[in-house]
Amino acid sequence: MSATATSPSKTPERIAHKGLLEVRELTTRFKLSQGWVRAVEKVSFSLEPGESLGLAGESGCGKTTAALSILKLLPENGRIVSGEILFDGKNLAKRTEYGMSKIRWKEISMIFQGAMNALNPVTETGKQIAEPIILHEGVSQKEALKRTRDLFELVGINPKRVMDFPHQLSGGMRQRAMIAMALACNPKLVIGDEPTTALDVMVQAQILDLIERLRRELDLSFILISHDLSVMAETCDKGVIMYAGEVVESGTVAQLFNDPRHPYTRQLIKAFPNIHERREMVSSIQGDPPNLLDPPPGCGFSPRCNVKTGACTDDPETVEVEPGHFVRCHLVKAGVI
């Protein structure tokens, strides 16, 4: 909440920050009739240009809300309560709706969850992809459609199918079309919200491979939102593990998977089977995630934690256990784990 609000003057000053995107203590809440839901609480992370970051956690942990906050696409009852979203020298948290419309798609775009429903079923796929190009770059529809054909080629769909309706494309092709749409205006940052969740394993592998290739070729920064830690392990450079709206651990994927410190990260990783290792029953985490209308005091994970102590009802501090590896747990701070 520093006083760096961009004034409505012609040349807003650049705010100095880390990397391409830096999210500082972002807090987002939803208003319900019963009160305010703590969806995202003091979430901080940063992203270098060309880097890929995974945002992982179970459903309801706030990962999608964090991403929607970055683009300010929250539903009407959602509000960014505090914190800064610093992107390329601008604080997006303070931007007006008009200011955001210049950023969306042109600089930050998103691949939405469920390609089946994200495309308009009664408009030709190509026209939907051409729309942001026409809007942001003021080119003619003919020119935009020509560029759409190139985008189709880039993502591996036959350009002849540019005038197909979404139902004429297969699930994998629709997801590719969504990726083409996200790349339409050459953004710097692409956010993928569960881009492969509803897809078959083989199609998932194709799409992840495509994203990886495009990221290299176009030097994109990428945020992958996924509940699947295995996918994050294979595709991202860095990872952020969220639980009950808070970041519990973050670091490089090597740090997170080979030296997990937070009890939640440890238990969550064990819940994923590794087909190349010895076969054993995967474990689960007892209990249910907390009700975020009335979150438990202190560490949000403590009610389900298998190593909790009396201190866990106080707010834990985030400690840097290794350069770049942050953990939010009392026991880690005390040096127990």
Partner 1 sequence: MATETKTPAGTAPAAGEGAPERHHHGRVGPDELARAEVKDGVLFDVRGLEVFFPIHETFFRSMVQKEKRYVRAVDHISFCVKQGEILALVGESGCGKTTTGRTMLRLEEATGGEILYKGLPMRSFTGRALREYRKKAQIIFQDPYNSINPKQTIFDIVAEPLEVNGVTSSEHEKEERVVKAISQAGLRPAQEYLYRYPHELSGGQRQRVCIAGATVLEPDMIVADEPVASLDVSIRNDILKLMVEQKDTLGVTYLFITHDLSLAWVISDRIAVMYLGRIVEIGHTEEVVANPQHPYTKALISVIPVPDPLAKREHVILEGETPNPVDIPSGCRFHPRCPMRIDACREIDPPDVHIGGDHYAACIRLK
Stretch that binds partner 1, among 29-37, 84-92, 275-283, 329-337 (CB under 8 A): 275-283
Among 32, 73, 116, 271, which residue sits at the site for partner 1 (rule: CB under 8 A)?
Answer: 271
Buried b (16+ CB within 10 A) or exposed e, 260-272: bbbbbbebbbeee
DSSP 313: G
Among 150, 209, 259, 317, which residue sits at the site for partner 1 (rule: CB under 8 A)?
Answer: 209
The CA distances from residue 57 to 194, 222, 262, in Å, are: 11, 17, 13
Binding residues for partner 1, total number by CB under 8 A? 39
Residue 208 CB, shortest distance to partner 1, in Å, is 8
Residue 276 CB, shortest distance to partner 1, in Å, is 6
Residues 149-208 that bind partner 1 (CB under 8 A): 170, 172, 200-206
AA identity, residue 114: G
Q: Does 116 bind partner 1 (CB under 8 A)?
A: no
Residues 276-295 that bind partner 1 (CB under 8 A): 276, 279, 281-285, 288
Select from 118, 227, 229, 232 the least CA-distant residue to 171. 118
Structure tokens at 298: 């202190």
* Closer to partner 1 by Cβ: residue 209 or 320: 209
Structure tokens at 189: 């940052």
Select from 72, 73, 63 the least CA-distant residue to 39. 63
Q: Give the SS3 label for residue 78.
A: strand
Residue 261 CB, shortest distance to partner 1, in Å, is 16
* Closer to partner 1 by Cβ: residue 153 or 200: 200
Instruction: Let me know: does 103 contact 109? Beta carbons within 8 Å.
Output: no
Q: Does 267 bind partner 1 (CB under 8 A)?
A: yes
Residue 258 CB, shortest distance to partner 1, in Å, is 7
Q: Does 34 bind partner 1 (CB under 8 A)?
A: no
Question: Going residue by residue from 129 to 148, which x/- string records binding to partner 1, judged by CB under 8 A?
Answer: --------------------
How far separated are the first and last CA of the chain, in Å rounded? 33
Q: Does 272 bind partner 1 (CB under 8 A)?
A: yes
Instruction: Let me know: does 118 contact 177? Beta carbons within 8 Å.
Output: no
CB neighbours of residue 178 within 10 Å: 26
Binding site for partner 1 (CB under 8 A): 58-59, 170, 172, 200-206, 209, 227-231, 233-234, 253-254, 257-258, 267-269, 271-276, 279, 281-285, 288
